Amino acid sequence: MAIPTFAECPRVCIAMLSNEDEIFRNAEIYAKLRHRTILRQDSPGHGMEGHVWKTSGHSVIKAFYRQENFDTELKCYQRLKDHGVNRIHGLEVPVLEGHDVYLRVIEMTFVRPPYLLDFGKATLDHPPSYLCDEQDKRRFESLGRSEFGDQWPQVNAVLFTLKSSYGIYYLDPRPQNICLGLPDSENDDWMKEPPIDYTEYE
């Protein structure tokens, strides 16, 4: 997996800043076409792929910097919607409400923790070449455990379901994207499911 060098990072940041006005304009145009208002003061997130804003229509819109990330995330949400998915192992999954290919904007339902989102780095139907290497698989597993600790088996079960049921290889498992929520013995129904044998996922 190619990782930007320190020398490359400033150029990436400069490119993002230079595109910030463009993606907001795209988001604003999309919102007007859908008779929505962007709530700029209430923005759920900003990352390497784009920016997310809540709207007056009780939805969120995500505008992307890069066409590749937009295309991938759109295909993932389309596939999940085709399967009627709005929850996986108790995690809320945004449901696609609209999109614009020219503007690189996706509109989806707003979700609260626990949730699963952000499919811009996923692959469909086939794993990336670097995950076919045993050493890289172990590194991916190690990074996941370092991010989630004792909750990694639950996250791993989500990744396995995405892969086995929907052909989605989710490659960016971080707490910002896979939020398991606060422990709550009465409300976390998914924690009450029968134990799963996670050895088959390794």
Quote the pLDDT of residue 182. Answer: 58
Q: What distance in Å separates the CA atoms of residue 71 and residue 106, rounded to the nearest whole number? A: 10
Q: Quick one: pLDDT at residue 48?
A: 82
Counting Cβ atoms within 10 Å, is residue 163 exposed (0-12), middle (13-18) or buried (19+)? middle
Predicted local confidence at residue 6, as pLDDT: 34
Kindly provide the b/e burial profile for residues 175-191, where b requires at least 16 CB atoms within 10 angstroms of the residue's own CB: eebbbbbeeeeeeeebe
Torsion of CA 10, 16, 18, 20, to 10 degrees: -150
Which CATH code is given to the segment(s) 9-116?
3.30.200.20
Q: What does each of the 202 residues of the chain score in pLDDT, given as a tens digit?
A: 443 433 444 444 434 445 888 999 999 999 999 999 998 766 766 778 899 999 999 899 999 999 999 999 999 999 999 999 999 999 999 999 999 999 999 999 999 999 999 999 999 999 888 777 888 889 999 999 999 999 999 999 999 999 999 999 999 999 999 999 854 433 444 333 334 443 443 4
What does the pLDDT read at residue 1? 40
- Residue 95's closest CA among 104, 170, 106? 106
Local structure of 69: helix, strand or coil: helix
Query: In whole angstroms, what separates CA 94 from the centre of its chain?
Result: 9
Q: What are the boundaries of each domain within the chain?
A: 9-116, 123-201
pTM: 0.79
